[in-house]
Structure 1
């Protein structure tokens, strides 16, 4: 229940507290596993807030994004559906290397064949890491680690806006992807928070922290196709559910003199992971175990993966123009999740010209979670400033 007095004193905090309280309440299994909570009072960002809680067994984030896009209208012209995000440049899986034409020569063909050798080697290595993580390989115990796996405490979900233009500026300056920039900014923000809170100044100390990067396994055109089917009254043919794979991604806790090193290392790590079938392997492994040994065994594998790593990381592309829902303009979208055996999860979601960073944290371990949000804002600012200097230096050279 909402505290009326608290709403009057600090409506933003009242919304945050209400959302945190939902993480302590189980869903009613006698009803459909989704809920709408309308908090009809103004905050600093909106005139009202809609909180949608959906059980993860029904859908993943990409499916929910499909439903959102198909249920909204363009705020600029409500008679039209919203514009869809642009299709990615690639058409196949992230690990696919296009075959060179025969005119490219024998060297290009040999390098193409070598890419399959690397693909096999990297896949075997990543599969071994995944299996060892399930069995015994744990992250270093730090202030980010979950301190009570057996009694999962309330999650507080907080969020902040970042400039998508700033993210794209860094992307262009470093010749990488938006995802590379967000991964690098996450590493930089967690590093700032870690060194400030721990007082640890041993930069050479080995700290093994890993994030579980969630990857959508649908075809690159799936979002556009599904939204079109829903809008054309063929929604019953759309398969929602969960079609996810996972990448176990190292988190770099470091103090770099050049902040762009966070982006460089993130790009190198993600590029290396793209030359692997780890995403497909983790998905198939969980599915096979689930079908052979039952859902509890499948859930156990996923639970162990999250228990032995430190954080979850996801990034989704949202609407590219402002949308409205049932005649009400949507000011921001802040997707997250709770119930995982981790003390902190990081989610990014773009909407028009902003990127919303959303943290779901154990409120006992992170009572200062808003300071961590400040670290994300400051990290992007520092990295962008370094990218501007990097660009001006290249022009002079």
Structure 2
């Protein structure tokens, strides 16, 4: 199967952990699951780090160590996961855990659920588990209007299915074209050589979830709309500064957005499954559909214009079955033609787009792992032919942006992180002015 490994970093005043995933080139059509005896000592790694380097810059030591894992193959003779314990203080935590796991074991949502089942809410009873927000309806839900709504409402309901069918055909056409030949223009965000191996660097920055929600409420949109708009604004800021392109050129690029296909499931149900070993009660493994999401590099005088554009694009994607059909096609293709053919299809789709974008919701309370309070969770992925992967992970009142990137293409990656923070501040200020103006009117 395709080599995908995941890493998760969680940190706290006492503890930290990072969550990390890898795609690779090798594929094995005859790979299958088998029961095995797990020797925990084989999976717990405590590295010896240079004390002088730790004293000089402990954050850099953690960054370099996590980056080195992207070049370190996993042992095929044992289960494909390991924990790396970095017992050194950083500005955010007293220690760090790096959890690396092969993506064949599960996608981000199932791995996050598995990780969270091991946590407890701080200062609560030992049996308290953290809650995880879940989807409350189907991915596409278009309820039929009541007869009392009138003929116009019924006609609009019927027309919505024509729109759904048309959008789905267009989107699937673009998906097929992307796999076969349709390629994004080469910019600083796109890797030139898709087959060349690149060691990944993982960096992150805290953003205010309250500020994101303020923008969401003022703009009457979703958190995802704000985050897509924020990403477009930050990348535009970075691009026009570094390319020295003084024209207000509008460049359309595309990202791949994975979408969780599982039905709504409470975290407590995962806990019950693990404790009772009833494997069929929840869906583990990989259950992802995919959306090809366009985003634009352009200059806007109004920072909220990026959010308006993102909302328009995402609303259009909600009127399509692209995510459901890509999920079904991927499963059928893998079963019919084998894992190698499936891996090739995925790689071509990733190689022909500019980046991967994802967002996951984390605990709303402070949690602890084996008695250690967790400061943050930072999931990411490596091994796919993308020079840049943008991931957002919420935890309590913070949302963390995590970048998985090729350091040779982004030597000033800290400036890129600054662009995310500064773009959010500009959006928040504009939203505050808009809200004040609306109240005054």
- Normalized against structure 1, the TM-score is what? 0.96
Residue aligning to 2:214: 169
Residue aligning to 1:37: 84
Residue aligning to 2:40: none
Q: When you count strand as a share of all residues, which structure comes out higher?
A: 2
List runs of 5+ in structure 1 lacking aligned partners: none
Give deviations 1:251-297, integer Å, cap 9, x for gaps: 11110011111000000100100000100121122212111111111
Residue aligning to 1:268: 312
Residue aligning to 1:55: 102
Q: When you count helix as a share of all residues, which structure comes out higher?
A: 1
C-alpha deviation, 1:227, in angstroms: 2.5
1:229 aligns with 2:258: no
Q: Which runs of 4+ in 1 moved over 6 A?
A: none
C-alpha deviation, 1:133, in angstroms: 0.3
1:326 aligns with 2:373: no
Contact 1:37–1:52 (CA<8 Å) still a contact in 2? yes
Take 1:68 and 1:102, find their aligned partners in 2: how far apart are those partners?
47
**RMSD of Structure 2 on Structure 1 (CA):** 1.4
For 1:85, what is the secondary structure of its paired residue? coil
Please, which of 129, 139, 158 is the counterpart of residue 203 of structure 2?
A: 158
Aligned length: 393
1:247 aligns with 2:291: yes
Residue aligning to 2:67: 20
C-alpha deviation, 1:366, in angstroms: 0.8
Counting only pairs closer than 5 Å after superposition, residues 228-377 of structure 1 correspond to structure 2 as 228-230=271-273, 232-234=275-277, 236-237=279-280, 238-377=282-421
Contact 1:165–1:353 (CA<8 Å) still a contact in 2? yes
1:108 aligns with 2:149: no
Give deviations 1:62-106, integer Å, cap 9, x for gaps: 001111221111112152323313444x4222x221111111111
Take 2:250 and 2:183, find their aligned partners in 1: how far apart are those partners?
14
Please, which of 385, 391, 394 is the counterpart of residue 435 of structure 2?
A: 391
Take 1:318 and 1:79, find their aligned partners in 2: how far apart are those partners?
20
C-alpha deviation, 1:3, in angstroms: 2.7
Residue aligning to 2:163: 118
Q: 1:235 to 1:183 in 2, by over 3 A?
A: farther
Contact 2:361–2:393 (CA<8 Å) still a contact in 1? yes
Q: 1:210 to 1:322 in 2, by over 3 A?
A: same
Contact 2:70–2:199 (CA<8 Å) still a contact in 1? yes
